[in-house]
A and B are shown apart, each in its own frame.
Chain A
Amino acid sequence: MRRRRILIAVLAALALAAPVTAAAQSREVFVPLLVYRTGPYAPSGIPIADGFVDYFTLLNERDGGINGVKLAWEECETQYDNKQGIECYERLKGKSPVVVNPYSTAITYSLIPKAPVDKIVVFSMGYGMSAASDGRWFPWVFNFPTNYWSQASAVIRYIGAQEGGLEKLKGKKVAHIFHNSAYGKEAHPTLEELAKKYQFELSLLAVDHPGQEQKATWLQVRRLNPDWIFMSGWGVMNQVAIKEAVSIGFKMDHLIGNWWSANDSDVVPAGEGAKGYKGATFHAPGTNFKVHADLLKLVYEKGKGSAKKEDLGAPLYNRGIVNAMLTAEAIRTAMTKFGNKPLTGEQVRWGFENLNLTEQRLEQLGMKSFTHPVKVTCEDHEGSGPVLIQQWDGKKWNVVSDWIAPMRDVVRPKIEGAAVEESKKLGYTMRDCAKEK
């Protein structure tokens, strides 16, 4: 009986603690962060979130925000789950955010239709819907500096270069090992077209979620004996795949992960064997940049850092920095037009669309040769940014290629076609970019 009474008390307490929403801050720009620091994907989610938050902290600490307007943010845990992501978005919407970084393809898809209604920019940096790269159809969605299709074409270009020219690809065997989900399959249309064009033999090998056990896939790899493997993995799949590749004695420098499959956490469990493993990226790994020195000095020494010092420079941590920097620069661009005050989502959208991040600007930011300049236009929300290949030497990642340009002539028509398809579903009409000045 007493237990029941406790139970009723608990229920009452739960009913009382109803959600609250805080009022919007006046002198701040608010950016909600959908993160996943727990759950099966946390090893990837933690460094990104840390990098992002640290850069924003740096901006507030060093520059007092952006042009005197402080940055405010709030993390919300999604566990990489669509439903929790929507709950987070709706909860943080009350604080009048200007841009949201969903960090999950599924959540991105759910937020895209909401963006024009809520006037909140969706910035899915290097993931999400590739078709959204066509800004004429998707004014509120940005996925620069580059997308999955550009990446796949750049990787093929790299493989071609390694073989001694794209024409040498003829007859070669390339396998794509992918996470059996929307994300993993995203690169297929591009790869298939390139296979036709350069006449290499493409095999698609799926690994089912979560990918704890991949023996069968790697047995097939052994039989197939491909010359190159491109991998679109995620979570535990990466670690197991790299271990399996080591175990069957596959040449590690012929195994290239995409930019979500090449982080420290992916190679560490495989130990020595992972040496030589390659991965695509759109920014450099490591800490040899001024921005890292600033972070250490102005954030970490004050005890305001969110990661461990030795985790700085991991590819995904650096990606968080890039993501935060691009967001901040877009807001800064918007301020050049609308003034140094807290902005609305619409104004920030203009900032994103007119972002022109130059080499000089990167140098000013302490990111010289850290990432590539980006120019966004009304038509092009992706920028077809080039890709780097990094390689694991057993201790750290090293860049082993120049900036590799994607094959825009192949990718862009596909994007435009897909944009028409996707917009039809949402009932969008194409805007005329000539009028948007």
Chain B
Amino acid sequence: MLDLLYAVAVAPFRDMAGAPAFLIEVLIGGVFAGLMYSLVALGFVLIFKASGVFNFAQGVMVLFAALTLVGLLERGVPVLVALALTTVVMVALAFAIERLVLRPLVNQAHIILFMATIGLNFFLEGFGEMLWGANVKKLDIGIPDRSFIVRGVQINQLELTAAATAAVLVTVLAVFFQRTRIGRALRAVADDHEAALSIGVPLRTIWVVVWSVAGVVAIVAGLMWGAKSGVQFSLSLIALKALPVLILGGFESVPGAIVGGLIIGVGEKLGEVYWGPLVGGAIENWFAYVLALAFLLARPQGLFGEKIIERV
């Protein structure tokens, strides 16, 4: 019993203290992994904020964006043109979704909209694969996936770039939300879409905009994840990695997605490296959820979520 307690509560910390450089490496690995999750979670947050839709298809949108980009690159389209074209495709997708899915389902229960996005998920899976094939494709964005060592701590260039990208993306989104006209409209819709409608905010335009922005976020996430693992079908599964980030940070909060990502990333790496071996490893997947769950029990609406006020 005591041994067990020691193994769970003391040994991992001694382990950490014994090899500080390695601990720092784990922490850095966690931070980077977390930011990668945040990139995906951001797309969820944007859509939930503006339309109250829990968009399960965000993972597939990442896949779809990456597939389109790589498909264009493979056909010899220059990088910038390909990026522009992919953006166009994602915006077109946003239009189509608004027209064909959201508009007919306006005012339905959340769960119905959620289901519709799962339907969309299936559709895009089939469609993306039909267009671009199921093979693994290499995505080379010019950043070598190599590491350099600073004082015994290993840092990966690609991850560093991803982190920087996430930071830039969040800043841009923050400015977009706070400073631009359309950003203010978005926030108005998020607060109360009927009230927003009554003062003349065009709801449909807002939806198209927000799904387009989520599409662009998906391109960025697709770029980063695609560079990491090659572009392939499994990219859509990273949505499952973003969900704990989402509930931890709160569905409506952009900073929440970042902070949540960091907590989940660092938490699951520490858990896997220091406590995982006790139970045979591969605990990352559920550990992230349990960690998020633990936070939720303290704050049921996530760290940065809007407080739920309930009335009878």
- Which secondary structure characterizes the binding site on chain A? helix
Q: CB within 8 A of A212: which of B158, B229, B269?
A: B229
Let me know if A268 is at the binding interface, CB within 8 A.
yes
Contact indicator A243/B228 (Cβ below 8 Å): yes
Let me know if B281 is at the binding interface, CB within 8 A.
yes
A216-B269, A243-B229 known; A222 vs B136 contact (CB < 8 Å): no
A208-B285, A269-B138, A271-B138 known; A216 vs B276 contact (CB < 8 Å): yes
B147 to nearest A CB, angstroms?
Answer: 5
Let me know if A76 is at the binding interface, CB within 8 A.
no
Of the candidate stretches B18-26, B176-184, B245-253, B303-311, the one touching chain A is B18-26
B268 surroundings in chain A (CB, below 8 A): 216
Contact with A along B135-151 (1 / 0, CB 8 A): 11111100001110000
Considering the chains assembled together, what is the distance between the CA atoms of A247 and B154 in angstroms? 9
- Using CB atoms, name the residue of chain B closest to A179: B282
- Using CB atoms, name the residue of chain A closest to B139: A269
Considering the chains assembled together, what is the distance between the CA atoms of A210 and B129 in angstroms? 19
Considering the chains assembled together, what is the distance between the CA atoms of A47 and B229 in angstroms? 20
Q: CB within 8 A of B237: which of A37, A38, A212, A270?
A: A212
Let me know if A40 is at the binding interface, CB within 8 A.
yes
Q: A208-B285, A247-B158 are in contact. List 11 more A-B contacts (CB 8 A).
A: A38-B129, A38-B134, A43-B232, A46-B135, A204-B280, A208-B284, A212-B225, A243-B228, A246-B146, A268-B230, A269-B137
Of the candidate stretches A26-34, A67-75, A232-240, the one touching chain B is A232-240
Interface size on A, residues (CB 8 A): 39
Q: CB within 8 A of B282: which of A180, A235, A273?
A: A180
Let me know if A62 is at the binding interface, CB within 8 A.
no
A46-B135, A213-B284 known; A40 vs B233 contact (CB < 8 Å): yes
Tell me the residues in window 207-236 of chain B with beta carbons closer than 8 Å to chain A beta carbons.
225, 228-230, 232-235
B122 to nearest A CB, angstroms?
Answer: 12
A155 to nearest B CB, angstroms?
Answer: 21
Let me know if A265 is at the binding interface, CB within 8 A.
yes
Contact indicator A269/B229 (Cβ below 8 Å): yes
B276 to nearest A CB, angstroms?
Answer: 7
Considering the chains assembled together, what is the distance between the CA atoms of A387 and B41 in angstroms? 45
Tell me the residues in window 30-72 of chain B with beta carbons closer than 8 Å to chain A beta carbons.
30, 32-33, 36
A208-B282, A236-B229 known; A247 vs B138 contact (CB < 8 Å): no
A207 surroundings in chain B (CB, below 8 A): 282
Tell me the residues in window 80-129 of chain B with beta carbons closer than 8 Å to chain A beta carbons.
129
A205 surroundings in chain B (CB, below 8 A): 281
- Using CB atoms, name the residue of chain B closest to A216: B272
Let me know if A42 is at the binding interface, CB within 8 A.
yes
Let me know if A94 is at the binding interface, CB within 8 A.
no
- Chain B's interface size range is 35 or more
Contact with B along A186-229 (1 / 0, CB 8 A): 00000000000000000011111010110111011011000000
A43-B134, A212-B237 known; A239 vs B232 contact (CB < 8 Å): yes
Considering the chains assembled together, what is the distance between the CA atoms of A326 and B139 in angstroms? 37
Contact indicator B241/A212 (Cβ below 8 Å): yes
Contact indicator A210/B134 (Cβ below 8 Å): no
Residues of chain B having any CB pair with chain A under 8 Å: 19, 22, 25-26, 29-30, 32-33, 36, 129, 134-140, 145-147, 154, 156, 158, 225, 228-230, 232-235, 237-238, 241, 268-269, 272-273, 276-277, 280-282, 284-285
Let me know if A7 is at the binding interface, CB within 8 A.
no
Contact indicator A210/B237 (Cβ below 8 Å): yes
Tell me the residues in window 12-47 of chain A with beta carbons closer than 8 Å to chain B beta carbons.
37-40, 42-43, 46
Q: CB within 8 A of A216: which of B29, B129, B234?
A: B29
11 A-B pairs whose Cβ atoms sit less than 8 Å apart in the complex = A206-B282, A212-B229, A215-B32, A217-B281, A240-B228, A243-B145, A246-B145, A249-B147, A265-B135, A270-B145, A273-B145
Tell me the residues in window 260-298 of chain A with beta carbons closer than 8 Å to chain B beta carbons.
265-266, 268-271, 273
B145 surroundings in chain A (CB, below 8 A): 243, 246-247, 270, 273
Considering the chains assembled together, what is the distance between the CA atoms of A206 and B276 in angstroms? 10
A207 to nearest B CB, angstroms?
Answer: 6
Contact indicator B234/A219 (Cβ below 8 Å): no
Considering the chains assembled together, what is the distance between the CA atoms of A217 and B277 in angstroms? 10
A254 to nearest B CB, angstroms?
Answer: 18
